[in-house]
């Protein structure tokens, strides 16, 4: 087990060292510039984004993943019967409560 840990550490380090020795190194300020479609950059690429952008993105991922969990239920709908319908309804109720909560908090307001 210790041998695998050592090997897993040394192999990537060795690959990085060999790559550093073999690659050409000709630093140039022009090479460090941002490049997009042959047009010079109009501003710095490291612009600031609003926190709301990240909140909406996280909420999209969360709700998207949760709704994907409904697909296995839909495939086994006949086998689960009314118990499955109740469980899916409870799951959807939790989603609706979460959506109402984030709507009231104003997370979805883009102004």
Nearest-angstrom CA–CA distance, 2 and 33: 44
Terminal Cα-to-Cα distance of the chain (whole angstroms): 55
Q: How far apart are CA 102 and CA 108, in angstroms?
A: 7
Would you say residue 9 lies in a domain? Answer: yes
Tell me what the mean pLDDT of segment 4-16 comes to. Answer: 94
Please indicate, yes or no, whether residues 100 and 62 belong to a single structural domain of this protein: yes
Q: Provide CB contacts within 8 A for 92, sequence distance 6+.
A: 70
Convert the pLDDT of each residue in 53-79 to its tens digit. 788 788 888 888 887 888 888 888 888
Segments forming the whole domain that contains residue 77:
51-105
- pLDDT (mean) for 68-94: 86
Claim to verify: residue 6 and residue 31 sit in the same structural domain = yes
Q: How many domains does the chain have?
A: 2
pLDDT digits (tens, 9 = 90+) for 24-39: 888 888 777 766 676 7
Do 55 and 100 reside in the same domain of the chain? yes
Task: State whether the Cα torsion 90-92-95-100 is positive or negative.
Answer: negative
Of 61, 87, 94, residue with least CA distance to 73: 87
Does the model's pTM come out above 0.75?
no
Residue 40, beta-bridge partner list: 35
């Amino acid at each position: 087990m210790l041998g695998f840990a050592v090997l897993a550490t040394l192999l990537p380090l060795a690959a990085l060292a060999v790559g550093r020795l073999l690659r050409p190194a000709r630093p140039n300020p022009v090479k460090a510039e941002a490049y997009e479609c042959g047009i010079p950059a109009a501003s710095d690429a490291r612009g600031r984004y609003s926190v709301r952008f990240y909140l909406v993105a996280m909420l999209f991922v969360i709700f998207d993943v949760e709704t994907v969990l409904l697909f296995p239920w839909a495939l086994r709908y006949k086998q689960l019967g009314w118990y499955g319908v109740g469980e899916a309804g409870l799951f959807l109720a939790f989603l609706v409560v979460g959506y109402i909560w984030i709507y009231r908090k104003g997370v979805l307001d883009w102004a």
